[in-house]
């Protein structure tokens, strides 16, 4: 990638013990404050995995929205779910070992053929998911749900 095509973004985090402020420095995404004081120690984990899942899901659905619009597919709504699976590598270190994205596009049956083309494109992922595929598998389960189904 050349210097001309590189883009960067910043996120700011401040931690004061169990209090965490995460600021994406974005008008679209407000700052997030996490207060672990009210949670037992054994329930405090998993936030980073949820943020990773949210990031992948948001990116994928944004790319899907663009792919649908490009082909003239009008949808009612999209439902999406990310499952982030953690495990251990061969050295016993905790690692993300896979992500599965399940995405349901609610649209009329008339778009079935065009939707199959979108599915082929979306198997290539999005910016975030395709970048993660070098480290672990990302599975895409993309389905059209018609009102009569």
Domains, the chain, with CATH or none: 3-37 (no CATH), 47-145 (3.30.300.20)
CA distances from residue 47 to 1, 53, 63, 64, 141 in whole angstroms, order as listed: 31, 10, 24, 25, 24
Q: What is the pLDDT along the chain (149 residues), one digit of tens a residue?
A: 566 788 898 999 999 998 999 999 999 999 999 999 888 888 888 899 999 999 999 999 999 999 999 999 999 999 999 999 999 989 999 999 999 999 999 999 999 999 999 999 999 999 999 999 999 999 999 999 998 76
Strand, helix or coil for residue 56: helix
Are 82 and 141 in contact by the 8 Å Cβ rule? The answer is: no
Could you tell me which residues are beta bridge partners of residue 138? 99
Output the pTM of the full model: 0.89
pLDDT at 148: 74
pLDDT at 2: 63
Over its C-alpha atoms, the chain yields an Rg (Å, rounded) of 18
pLDDT at 73: 97
pLDDT at 44: 80
Distance CA 86, CA 54 (A): 15
Report the first-to-last Cα separation within the chain, whole angstroms.
45
pLDDT at 1: 57
pLDDT at 3: 65
């Amino acid at each position: 990638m050349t210097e001309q095509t590189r883009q960067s973004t910043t996120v700011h985090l401040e931690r004061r013990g169990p209090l965490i402020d995460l600021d994406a420095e974005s008008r679209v995404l407000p700052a997030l404050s996490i207060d672990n004081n009210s949670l037992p120690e054994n329930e405090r984990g998993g936030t980073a995995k949820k943020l990773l899942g949210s990031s992948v899901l948001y990116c994928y659905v944004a790319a899907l929205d663009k792919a649908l619009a490009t082909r003239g597919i009008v949808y009612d709504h999209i439902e999406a779910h990310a499952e982030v699976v953690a495990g251990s590598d061969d050295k016993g270190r905790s690692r993300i070992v896979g992500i599965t994205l399940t995405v349901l596009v609610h649209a009329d049956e008339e778009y079935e053929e065009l939707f199959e083309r979108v599915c082929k494109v979306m198997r290539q992922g999005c910016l975030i998911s395709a970048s993660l595929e070098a480290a672990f598998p990302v599975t895409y389960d993309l389905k059209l749900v018609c009102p009569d189904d």
